[in-house]
Amino acid sequence: MARKTTFQKPSLIINDTTLRDGEQSAGVAFTQDEKIAIARQLWEIGVPELEVGIPAMGLDECRRIGALRQALPDATLMVWCRMHATDIRQAAALGMNWVDISIPISEQMMEHKLARSRDQVLRELADHVSLAKSLGLNVCIGCEDASRASLADLRVVADLALRTGAERLRYADTVGILDPFTTYDRIRALRQFWPLQLEMHAHDDLGLATANTLAAFRAGATHANTTVIGLGERAGNAPLEEVVMALKQCFNIDLQIPSHRLPALCDFVAKASGRSIAQQKPLVGEYVFTHESGMHVDGLLKDKNNYQGVDPASLGREHKLVLGKHSGRNAVRSVFASLGYQLANEQIDLVLEQIRYFAERAKRNPTESELRWVYQRLFKSPQRVAL
């Protein structure tokens, strides 16, 4: 039987869709064990809702959704459904809490995807919402391509949702065309006639998914779809780690998700998806707390708050100093001291010349062993100091 849930409204509720939209990334295919492991990690760190699959994909997918239900009996789980009675009945049989009934609402998709009249689609939607409610499911109406629909189109769907008992609307920027200012205006306008739960589903085609999610929250959204490391169709969705940290950093809103566990979760999902994490990926990339520039390193050595917006310790990380073309004397002195070498001023100039030569040709920062080699090559009798 479907599982009913009750809600206490916090500032924002994350509905993570790594296991649905995230897995729709081209080339991504999780095994059952990987799906369970990802779901368990998300649940254990406090992500309150998980969208876990698509029953219409067939018996194997349904088995995996059922395995997730068994592995996480107390979690709030959602599946994505077409306007098909079979999908909805399957969701209830699998013990889901929520069903997202997806409906294209823009003229573009209504005409060129469904090829049906708006009145016909709305009648079918009402029937399917009523079916889901009769089976004990909570209902989210997924407004596909909402960002290309008119406010009048949204109002018609909202009125139908209120009449039929749907608890949530999903505002989907399906093709990722919104900017934060437009997102704020549209969600705020939608809030004038939709009083219940409102979920933002942002795609990252313009690199604005996180910003649009935050704008939607400021305008009155109660829920946000995210994916770990921003997996998802095309350019992906709003990354979980970015939304969690941005809410805390920008709005002082703590979702009680332990941020120090996010890097390990991101690493696990990256490996399971066969994707690498970009070196400068916000928050979890290898180099995002790494400093080379002389002025920045000098300021950081004097007081880390000079060039620290996000505390790396909150993510279980720390600042790292590297040497390269843009390094200054204080950085060279500090890094070599950490290696156990005390440099005089004239030695620093010689080292800098070698480092800049290396960086231009190797197109990377020298490693510790390479720095030791430079020192040994330049200075035959190094004066060692205690580490």
**Does one domain contain both 83 and 190?**
yes
d(CA 67, CA 86): 20
**Does one domain contain both 87 and 150?**
yes
| Model pLDDT for residues 182-227, shown as the tens digit of each residue | 999 999 999 999 999 999 999 999 999 999 999 999 999 999 999 9
Bridge partners of residue 78, in order along the sequence = 51, 98
Bridge partners of residue 140, in order along the sequence = 100, 168
Residue 334 within a domain: yes
Residue 4 within a domain: no
| Model pLDDT for residues 66-117, shown as the tens digit of each residue | 999 999 999 999 999 999 999 999 999 999 999 999 999 988 887 778 777 7
Residue 338 within a domain: yes
Per-residue pLDDT, averaged over 22-45, amounts to 97
**Does one domain contain both 197 and 71?**
yes
DSSP 8-state code for residue 341: B
Task: Give residue 9's pLDDT band: very low, low, confident or very high (50, 70, 90).
Answer: very low
Chain-centre distance for alpha carbon 74: 23
Residues 6+ apart with CB under 8 A from 46: 255, 256, 257, 258
| Ordered DSSP codes for 273-332 | HT-PPPTT-TTTSTTTTEE--HHHHHHHHH-GGGG-SS-GGGGT---EE---TT--HHHH
**Does one domain contain both 261 and 135?**
yes
Bridge partners of residue 170, in order along the sequence = 142, 199
Q: What is the mean pLDDT of the chain?
A: 93
DSSP 8-state code for residue 367: P
Per-residue pLDDT, averaged over 55-68, amounts to 97
**Does one domain contain both 28 and 83?**
yes
369 vs 284, 365, 379, CA distance in Å? 25, 12, 15
**Does one domain contain both 350 and 237?**
no
Paired tokens of 43? 């649940």
Residue range of the domain that includes 162: 13-273
pLDDT at 6 over 60: no
Whether 56 contacts 265, CB under 8 Å: no
Name the pTM for this structure: 0.91
Residue 140 within a domain: yes
**Does one domain contain both 158 and 26?**
yes
d(CA 384, CA 376): 11
**Does one domain contain both 233 and 315?**
no
Q: At which of 246, 273, 300 does a domain end?
A: 273
Paired tokens of 274? 């066969």
Residue 370 within a domain: yes
Q: Among candidates 14, 8, 135, which has minimal Cα distance to 81?
A: 135
